[in-house]
């Protein structure tokens, strides 16, 4: 068997080409079952499903992470960043609050407010968490809808008749006319030139 993408000869048991990574499932199916359009029980929707699954596998190998996995990682990162910010706020508030008791008034005011530095990672973590919970959820839903819409795209404007139900005459079109006949307009016969005219 040969890879349809790069032409590399492969073993029949291999699912993907060693050289380019193309799925060889379709080639194996064609070799074992024959071309689907020649099969009397050919179902175009089954072929579409097979192509869609190959597309999904290729996209999964390319991206490696699904939108849902990215969303969960965002939520996890948001929780960790929020916890770090909250912990640093508490740490700075109590530690530097105790240190500020022994310092002059101006220095004490600064030391008591250093805990606000922990507010920055806390708010960043909350925004990442908000994004993961609400906004990425919509992105995942849109991606799933996009996949579902792609999967349900009609192949034909109406359901095609299976090959076995077609009559023998409908398999080859009737040749009533030729494309090359009567394609140009014929010119009229040229009028004879009168040579008796004076050319003075």
Residue 50 lies in a domain: yes
Q: Note whether 125 and 78 are within 8 A (CB).
A: yes
Range of 73's domain? Answer: 66-156
**145 and 94 both lie in a single domain:** yes
Q: How many helices (H) and strands (E) does the chain have?
A: 6, 0
Q: Residues 136-147: pLDDT tens digits? A: 888 888 877 776
Residue 11 lies in a domain: yes
**80 and 99 both lie in a single domain:** yes
**37 and 100 both lie in a single domain:** no
User: Can you list the residues of the chain whose pLDDT is less than 50?
Assistant: none
- Specify the number of domains making up the chain: 2
Rounded CA gap, 97 and 6, in Å? 69
**51 and 81 both lie in a single domain:** no
The mean pLDDT value of the chain amounts to 75
Q: Residues 140-180: pLDDT tens digits? A: 888 777 767 666 665 555 555 555 555 555 555 555 555 66
Residue 125 lies in a domain: yes
- The count of other CB atoms within 10 Å of the CB of residue 120 is 12
Of the three residues 19, 39, 64, the one that is the final residue of a domain is: 64
**128 and 93 both lie in a single domain:** yes
Q: What is the pTM of this model?
A: 0.43
């Amino acid at each position: 068997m040969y890879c349809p993408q790069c032409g590399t000869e492969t073993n029949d048991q291999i699912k993907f080409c060693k050289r380019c990574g193309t799925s060889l499932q379709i080639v194996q199916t064609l070799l074992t079952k024959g071309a689907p359009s020649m099969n009397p029980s050919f179902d175009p929707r089954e072929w579409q499903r097979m192509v869609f699954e190959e597309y999904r596998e290729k996209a999964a190998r390319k991206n490696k992470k699904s939108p849902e996995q990215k969303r969960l990682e965002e939520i996890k990162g948001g929780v960790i960043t929020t916890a770090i910010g909250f912990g640093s706020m508490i740490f700075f508030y109590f530690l530097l609050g105790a240190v500020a008791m022994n310092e002059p008034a101006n220095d004490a005011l600064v030391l008591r407010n250093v805990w606000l530095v922990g507010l920055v990672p806390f708010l960043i973590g909350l925004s990442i968490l908000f994004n993961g919970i609400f906004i990425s959820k919509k992105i995942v839903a849109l991606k799933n809808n996009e996949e579902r819409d792609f999967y349900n795209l009609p192949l034909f404007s109406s359901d095609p008749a299976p090959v076995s139900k077609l009559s023998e005459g409908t398999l080859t079109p009737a040749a009533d006319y030729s494309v090359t006949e009567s394609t140009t307009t014929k010119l009229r016969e040229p009028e004879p030139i009168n040579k008796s005219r004076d050319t003075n």
